[in-house]
Structures are given as C-alpha cells and as structure tokens.
Amino acid sequence: GQQLNQSPQSMFIQEGEDVSMNCTSSSIFNTWLWYKQDPGEGPVLLIALYKAGELTSNGRLTAQFGITRKDSFLNISASIPSDVGIYFCAGHDSTSGTYKYIFGTGTRLKVLA
C-alpha cells in the first residue's frame, strides 16, 4: 500500500540538540498527524494539523502543515533521553470520502546523553 516518505530514516543526536524531520507525499492531505512510538507500545498522538501553513506546538514539539499540503514537518527542541523512539507521520484526506490514513515509514531517533 501507499506509504509516506519520512526523512531521515534514523538519526543520532546529542542531548540538548534540536531535531527536525519531515514527511512527504505525492498526494494532498487535509489532515496531518504526528505520532511517537516507544518499543513494544502503541503509537501516541503528538500533534494534529488541519490547515495548510498551520504551525502547532505541544511542549518542546512543533509541527507544521506544509503549504503545498503534500508535506509536514516536526521539530523537537532541546532533546532529552526520553525523546528516543520512532516518530511516524500520517495523512488523511477527508474530501476523498475515505476512512483510511496513510502512514510514513518512520524516523528512528536516538539520543546520546
């Protein structure tokens, strides 16, 4: 099935550094979701975006809905060890009448203390 491209696939960063990752699609979405998944657990919803150009924050996390509606970005400021995990993006197009979400391939984040 269709998957969104997430970049980078994985990254090692030093504690305290800022992190940026993105998600791109060949299709237009009107909803972007960002999740974090810890090992052995279900993904946890971090941020939901509904409007092109929208910038939304959740603590140290900030996500943006790309103006082309084909991409989204997630930034983590001042990373800490508990930021370790896999970050997934997901897109949804409610105008198509579908109930399905398209997920990204994931960005694996590892933080060096």
Partner 1 sequence: SQTIHQWPATLVQPVGSPLSLECTVEGTSNPNLYWYRQAAGRGLQLLFYSVGIGQISSEVPQNLSASRPQDRQFILSSKKLLLSDSGFYLCAWRWAGRGYEQYFGPGTRLTVT
Task: Output DSSP code: residue 113.
Answer: -
Of the two residues 73 and 88, which places its CB atom closer to partner 1 in the complex? 88
Neighbours of 16 (CB within 10 A): 11
Position 31 contacts partner 1 (CB under 8 A): yes
Binding-residue pattern over the window 63 to 102 for partner 1, x denoting contact by CB under 8 A: -------------------------x-x-x-x----xxx-
Interface residues toward partner 1, by CB under 8 A = 1, 3, 31, 33, 35, 40-45, 48, 50, 88, 90, 92, 94, 99-101, 103-106
